[in-house]
């Protein structure tokens, strides 16, 4: 009996581990790692370049490239697009479904590392670590007075997996937790000591505001000049979610004017809108801004987890099986029945 033909899986991400490559190989997949230009990510590649790289791909493990209807129309062989991450605002899910393909995210893979990163930004900003080191580098060892995270009021905007992870970590600081979410879970809130409030109350009452909401038309520029004006001048804003949640120009103005104490930022509006590049440059130059380059999910362990989940999603589609729970964001295949041993329906 002849062996099934190998399927081609193209990965347009760096830091793709050998263990996951071996797993894909064991499932009948030939893995091809895209040769990305130095300092560039797949989101920087043109549609023509992506179409060339993916011309013979059955599966695509993608980072931040835009998955458009026009691109997908040029890739008739492609069956599955698996994001090594959880956000999918750059994926045209309607086009994926219409063209009979599947799109998935690596749900649950990076929750822990992003929640850890959010706490790191809170602590670094509240203890003024960047300012202190900048002064020490300049020869001034004067002591700057920081502030505790202990027993402070922390507002968490969005209570998905990462937001809940942040809440659980804050228990060790005996923090008072406020949360603004579209779907409050009262039982979970009581168990973890969370008070559900509206956004206005959260902003006005919190010493730290941490953003964990998805980027949608309703949440775009959620934190604008008006929202920032509701915050305490001693407050800290942390964003490890999406740059589009914050009007970075308004944030820059608030920080420069002393209307906000500090910010911890892993994401920036300039990532999706180059017209904000100069704003980002000014933000990261401020001594009271702790900045990282959208790296909160990039721990060795977190990348290995998301690599594996994206690979499992890819294999499931190519083999006609069920995807891991919570991973499907678009499925254009005909409805299928699964046995009792299946992990559940694939359709979102």
Give catalytic residues, as residue numbers. 242, 271, 294
What is the rounded (10 degree) CA torsion for 58, 64, 67, 68?
-160
157: left (phi over 0), alpha (psi -120 to 50) or beta: beta
The bridge status of strand 194-196 relative to strand 176-180 is parallel
Strands of the sheet containing 236-239, edge to edge, are 194-196, 176-180, 153-157, 208-211, 236-239, 262-265, 289-291
* Cβ–Cβ under 8 Å, residues 59 and 79: yes
Nearest Cα to 60, choosing from 9, 6, 23, 5? 9
Q: How is residue 91 annotated by DSSP? A: B
Q: How many other CB atoms are found less than 10 A from the CB of residue 302?
A: 21
Q: Give the position of tokens 């980002």.
A: 280
* Cβ–Cβ under 8 Å, residues 298 and 304: no
* Cβ–Cβ under 8 Å, residues 215 and 239: no
3-state secondary structure of 246: strand
Q: Give the position of tokens 């995210």.
A: 105
DSSP 12-63: --S---HHHHHHHHHTTEEEEE--PPTT--GGGS-HHHHHHHTTT-SEEEES
Q: Which two tokens stand for residue 231?
A: 């915050």
First to last CA, the chain: 36
């Amino acid at each position: 009996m002849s062996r099934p033909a190998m399927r081609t899986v193209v990965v347009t991400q760096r830091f793709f581990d050998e263990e996951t490559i071996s797993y894909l190989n064991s499932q009948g997949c030939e893995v091809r790692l895209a040769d990305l230009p130095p300092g560039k990510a797949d989101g920087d590649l043109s549609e023509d370049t992506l179409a060339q790289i993916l011309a013979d791909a059955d599966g695509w493990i993608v980072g931040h490239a835009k998955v458009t209807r026009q691109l997908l129309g040029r890739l008739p062989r492609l069956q599955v697009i698996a994001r090594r991450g959880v956000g999918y605002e750059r994926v045209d899910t309607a086009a994926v479904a219409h063209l009979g393909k599947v799109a998935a995210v690596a749900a649950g893979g990076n929750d822990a590392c992003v929640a850890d990163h959010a706490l790191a930004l809170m602590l670094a900003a509240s203890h003024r670590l960047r300012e202190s080191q900048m002064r020490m580098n300049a020869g001034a060892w004067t002591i700057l007075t920081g502030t505790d995270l202990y027993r402070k009021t922390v507002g968490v905007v969005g209570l998905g997996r990462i937001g809940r992870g942040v809440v659980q970590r804050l228990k060790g600081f005996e923090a008072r937790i406020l949360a603004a979410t579209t779907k409050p879970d009262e039982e979970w809130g009581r168990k973890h000591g969370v008070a559900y409030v509206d956004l206005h109350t959260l902003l006005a009452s919190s010493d730290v505001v941490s953003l964990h909401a998805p980027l949608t038309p309703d949440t775009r520029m959620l934190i604008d000049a008006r929202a920032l004006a509701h915050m305490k001048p001693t407050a800290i804003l942390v964003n490890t979610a999406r740059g589009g949640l914050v009007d970075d120009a308004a944030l820059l103005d608030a920080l420069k004017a002393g209307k906000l104490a500090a910010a911890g930022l892993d994401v920036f509006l300039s990532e999706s809108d180059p017209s904000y590049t100069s704003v980002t440059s000014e933000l990261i130059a401020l001594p009271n801004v702790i900045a990282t380059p959208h790296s909160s999910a990039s721990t060795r362990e977190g990348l290995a987890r998301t690599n594996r989940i994206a690979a499992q999603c890819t294999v499931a589609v190519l083999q006609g099986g069920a995807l891991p729970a919570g991973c499907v964001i678009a499925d254009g295949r005909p409805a299928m029945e699964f046995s009792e041993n299946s992990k559940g329906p694939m359709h979102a």
